[in-house]
Amino acid sequence: MKAGDAGRLGAWLADPSVADVDPLTVGRLRARLAAEGDAESSIAIGPHGTFVAREPSPQDGIPRRVLELDRQGTVLSTLRWAEDGRLARAWIRIADGSWVMIEPRGTRQPSWGLCERLWHAPHPAAPAPIVLTVFEALTYECIERIPALAEPARLPLGAGTAVLNVVAALAADAGRARLVYTGPYPTEQLFLALLESFRYGTAEADPLAAFMAGRVEWNPAPHERLFLPAGVVVQLRGRVEKVVWRERVYHRPDWQQVERHAPRRVHEVGSAVVCSLWALGGAVEDHLRLDPGGTTVSVIAPSPPGPPTLRPLPAPVLAGVASVAAALGAPPLAPFVRETAVEC
């Protein structure tokens, strides 16, 4: 880690908005960073500038991720590990700025036994978080599979992909590859969600059909996220792949060999990345413009509507509208509706 990066990280860790997310973890990292050279070996910086801090496990001494910040110092996730080396809990920021928490082995479900419980709160320090749903228990220090989630519809926007991205990151940290999903819901929605944090491995022409048949292995390929002004959240993995803004989600159309059809698209216009409303093979209206690295963003205001143009309806169309109105109204009024329509 360069001296400038260490200085930035030190300034971020001293920020109360960062420390409040997990005071214990941030305090330990500040102490280690203050010890000359002690923290440098445990801080990694991703291709898009994400800072990942790791600490040695109390059990085996293997460094495990404990804090993740984007390149502007926004906390993305914080993980607490127990003395026995297992994950104690993890908080993950989602697109609207709220947080979801993984509580390992937090409850028991008849078909799965011990399960992880997902909670939702405006902030990790906020009282009374809300239970969302459960998913299959995992061994986070050595992830072996992709878990099944009980009730995905109960999750806030982006929570599912954020949790899957942490799973992918921990699997990559442990050098795991070719994870499988054997749960009961191999849906198209889950397939698309997995594309954002994994890369599928299959030679079949239809990877979605292969996934639904249980014949796809997944290689961890976690993305990086960046929280920008104006409530814009950018997802990067070699390029800008996804943008969330005002609860609108913009996707790239191409994910490996899969073409994703969506009403909002991320695409290039010259040297800029543009987020647009998309239909009939083209942009209907542009909403955001970013640079290729997702560093700057500008909101594109829609063009103001021009003066209304009034034209008379063709007589056959007017007669058809009048007939519909007459048929849907009270029968005694039908003749008067048709007569009035002639004068419109």
Residues 65-116 have pLDDT tens digits of 999 999 999 999 999 999 898 999 999 999 999 999 999 999 998 888 999 9
What pairing do the DSSP bridges indicate for beta strands 63-69 and 75-81? antiparallel
Say if residue 39's pLDDT is above 70. no
Q: Considering only CA atoms, which of 105, 4, 19 is closest in space to residue 67?
A: 19
Q: What strand order describes the sheet that includes 179-180?
A: 179-180, 217-220, 198-201
Weakest mean pLDDT among 10-24, 49-63, 240-254, 265-279: 49-63
The pLDDT value given to residue 38:
53
More confident residue, 244 or 339: 244
The pLDDT value given to residue 69:
97
Q: How many residues does the chain have?
A: 344
Highest mean pLDDT among 26-35, 36-45, 115-124, 303-312: 115-124
Burial of 305 (C-beta count, 10 Å sphere; 0-12/13-18/19+)? exposed
Residues 240-252 have pLDDT tens digits of 999 999 999 999 9
More confident residue, 337 or 303: 337
Q: Are 120 and 100 in contact (CB under 8 A)?
A: yes
- 3, β-bridge pairs: none
Q: Alpha carbon 149 to chain centroid distance?
A: 16
Q: What is the pTM of this model?
A: 0.85
Residues 312-332 have pLDDT tens digits of 888 888 899 999 999 999 999
Kindly indicate the confidence band of residue 149, based on its pLDDT and cuts at 50, 70 and 90: very high
Say if residue 190's pLDDT is above 80. yes
Q: Are 315 and 309 in contact (CB under 8 A)?
A: no
Q: Are 115 and 103 in contact (CB under 8 A)?
A: no
Q: Alpha carbon 319 to chain centroid distance?
A: 51
Residues 51-72 have pLDDT tens digits of 999 998 877 788 999 999 999 9
Say if residue 344's pLDDT is above 60. yes
Average of per-residue pLDDT values in the chain: 92
The pLDDT value given to residue 36:
61
The pLDDT value given to residue 248:
95
